[in-house]
Amino acid sequence: MSALHDLTLAQQSQALASGQTTSVALTQHVLDRIAAHTELGAFLHVDAEGALAVAAASDARRAAGQSLGALDGVPIAHKDIFVTQGQPTTAASKMLRGYQSPFDATVVAKLKAAGVVSVGKLNCDEFAMGGANENSAYGVARNPWDTTRIPGGSSGASAVAVAARLVAATTGTDTGGSIRQPAALTGITGIKPTYGRCSRFGMIAFASSLDQAGPMARTAEDCALLLQAMSGFDERDATSAQQPVPDFVAALTAPRAGATADQPLTGLRVGVPKEFFGEGVSADVLAANRAALAQLESLGATLVDISLPRTELSIPVYYIIAPAEASSNLSRYDGVKFGHRAAKYGDLNDMYRKTRAEGFGAEVKRRIMIGTYVLSHGYYDAYYLQAQKLRRMIADDFQAAFRVCDVIAGPVSPTVARPIGSSTDPVQEYLADIFTLPASLAGLPGMSAPCGLGEHGLPVGLQLIGNYWQEAQLLHTAHAFQQATDWHQRAPAALA
Ligand code: GLN
């Protein structure tokens, strides 16, 4: 048997079921590996004692002959945006240093109920604002493919932990690309479900009309296993959808009409947006994505040329709407109810001012200022209202595209991972979100699957975007791709 950390989540689950290992042994192995790789900056908190206790309880259930779900006893870790009872939650902000939630986020509770062992909390960009994990108040997370480079963000460390095989799977959140982009830059698989699929209850709010939880793992199969447990209606989230949750795992291999073993994607129409393959995308990313399209074609799919004409506009639209919502959501951090409070202050206003000046990092402050500005009297119509109208048009463009295709495919990020510290201009950072923002604004499901190695041998991702509630089709497509390719099995050499 290969080393426990080389196994996927599904393989770890099988190893537990067949008695090849125990949850305690697996969890201890994971804890040792996490301790041996602190240089990656992945974990903000490790709960060894709590994890081993949960693992022991799983082993006891198994020994007692109970019939257990596939996730029972497998260790994972949560992005530090999910509140967790018994483990600190910081959103990678100084504002929430030492904060302990009295309850679990719904996604965390659902995974717990499935028997998952949570080993700790993962670094990310402060309040999930960023695309490089450089905005954490607790230091950078490093890309295991080249530790001088960013892993992407904001779920940067969720990607690092999987790519470095510290844990087989993690949770992430995606507001404008934060699951898909780090997955692409670290060579792993991640899916942002349809808005409303996973409960946002207990997910620290950034931009509530965009925030979604999702799984990150090495394979589409593992993502399906986790998404199954994470999904479902929750009355405590007002935008959670009353939508039946299909069997995502069964859907991976469910045969399409007319398909053969060699051509499992027969009949699938893959839309190729010309805006995703034009200027601004680096040659290595283009080449890997074009090869992936050819692979999909050889698996039976038909490529269809489409256009998403407002792709570029998604950048100003998102960077108005997301900061507007953030400025409102983050007003709760006032030093009164919870979190950081300035040590010395005069009157109440002075306390607010000092607390927020000390507690928030530069990018968070920038967004609060932008958001406050675009919502203010006299500017609201010119910015916020216009952005909302364009958001609708972007969603309409997708609906027009889905009349002629079933899934849309293209790059996730215009380049491979850049060096840590190499960006000084926030606007340049925002521009790099161009291919992930459109699906976020439309509320559509999107995923990233590894599809090649680009410059410097760094991973490139293929993005698949589906229509509403079509996660199963995305997972099926990615699974077929992964059965025919081995990009998802490549591991960073330095961390053998
Ligand atoms: N990079 C984008 C931003 O900075 C997306 C972040 C996210 O999805 N949480 O807002």
**Residues 393, 399, 403, 404, CA torsion sign:** positive
Q: What is the mean pLDDT of the chain?
A: 97
- The finding on whether 128 has its CB within 6 A of some atom of ligand 1 is yes
- Residue 429 C-alpha to ligand 1 middle, in angstroms? 10
- For the entire predicted model, the pTM comes to 0.98
Q: Which of 154, 418, 423 to mutate to test the pocket of ligand 1 (most atoms within 8 A of CB)?
A: 154
- The finding on whether 178 has its CB within 6 A of some atom of ligand 1 is yes
**Ligand 1 atom 5, closest CA:** 176
Q: Which of 155, 158, 178 to mutate to test the pocket of ligand 1 (most atoms within 8 A of CB)?
A: 178
Q: Which residues fall within 8 angstroms of residue 20, CB to CB, at 6 or more apart?
A: 1
- Residue 427 C-alpha to ligand 1 middle, in angstroms? 13
Q: How far, in Å, CA of 464 to CA of 47, rounded?
A: 35
Per-residue pLDDT tens over the stretch 191-221: 999 999 999 999 999 999 999 999 999 999 9
pLDDT higher than 70, residue 439: yes
Q: How far, in Å, CA of 321 to CA of 407, rounded?
A: 26
Domains, the chain, in order of start with CATH, read: 4-256+472-495 (3.90.1300.10)
- Residue 309 C-alpha to ligand 1 middle, in angstroms? 22
| DSSP-based three-state secondary structure for 471 | helix
- Residue 371 C-alpha to ligand 1 middle, in angstroms? 15
User: Max CA-CA distance within the chain?
Assistant: 74
Per-residue pLDDT tens over the stretch 70-87: 999 999 999 999 999 999
Q: What is the pLDDT of residue 2?
A: 74
Omega of the bond prior to 376 within 30 degrees of 0, cis? no
- Residue 177 C-alpha to ligand 1 middle, in angstroms? 6
pLDDT higher than 80, residue 96: yes
- The finding on whether 196 has its CB within 6 A of some atom of ligand 1 is no
Q: Which atom of ligand 1 is nearest to the CA of 153?
A: 1
**Ligand 1 atom 3, closest CA:** 130
- The finding on whether 175 has its CB within 6 A of some atom of ligand 1 is yes
- The finding on whether 322 has its CB within 6 A of some atom of ligand 1 is yes
Q: What is the pLDDT of residue 495?
A: 75
- The finding on whether 323 has its CB within 6 A of some atom of ligand 1 is no
pLDDT higher than 70, residue 1: no
Q: Which atom of ligand 1 is nearest to the CA of 131?
A: 1
- Residue 326 C-alpha to ligand 1 middle, in angstroms? 11
Could you tell me the two tokens for 452? 């090649």
- The finding on whether 124 has its CB within 6 A of some atom of ligand 1 is no
- The finding on whether 461 has its CB within 6 A of some atom of ligand 1 is no
DSSP string, 35-52: HHTGGG--EEEE-HHHHH
Q: How far, in Å, CA of 371 to CA of 427, rounded?
A: 15
**Ligand 1 atom 4, closest CA:** 130
Q: What is the pLDDT of residue 496?
A: 60
DSSP 414: S
CB atoms near residue 334 (< 10 Å): 16
- The finding on whether 174 has its CB within 6 A of some atom of ligand 1 is yes
- Residue 437 C-alpha to ligand 1 middle, in angstroms? 9
Could you tell me the two tokens for 409? 């495919």
Q: In this prediction, what percent of the chain has a pLDDT beyond 90?
A: 98
Average pLDDT (230-239) is 98
Going by C-alpha positions, the residue among 340, 161, 70 that lies closest to residue 62 is 70
Per-residue pLDDT tens over the stretch 10-24: 999 999 999 999 999
pLDDT higher than 60, residue 395: yes
Catalytic residues: 79, 154, 178
- The finding on whether 452 has its CB within 6 A of some atom of ligand 1 is no
Average pLDDT (272-288) is 97
| DSSP-based three-state secondary structure for 258 | coil
- Residue 135 C-alpha to ligand 1 middle, in angstroms? 11
Average pLDDT (462-486) is 98
Q: Which of 81, 129, 209, 370 to mutate to test the pocket of ligand 1 (most atoms within 8 A of CB)?
A: 129
- The finding on whether 152 has its CB within 6 A of some atom of ligand 1 is no
The answer to whether the beta carbons of residues 440 and 176 sit under 8 Å apart is yes
Confidence of residue 337 (pLDDT cuts 50, 70, 90): confident
Q: Which atom of ligand 1 is nearest to the CA of 206?
A: 9
Q: Which residues fall within 8 angstroms of residue 317, CB to CB, at 6 or more apart?
A: 387, 390, 391, 394, 437, 441
Average pLDDT (152-177) is 98
Q: Which of 79, 80, 82, 125 to mutate to test the pocket of ligand 1 (most atoms within 8 A of CB)?
A: 125
- The finding on whether 433 has its CB within 6 A of some atom of ligand 1 is yes
Per-residue pLDDT tens over the stretch 399-425: 999 999 999 999 999 999 999 999 989
Q: What is the pLDDT of residue 493?
A: 86
| DSSP-based three-state secondary structure for 428 | helix
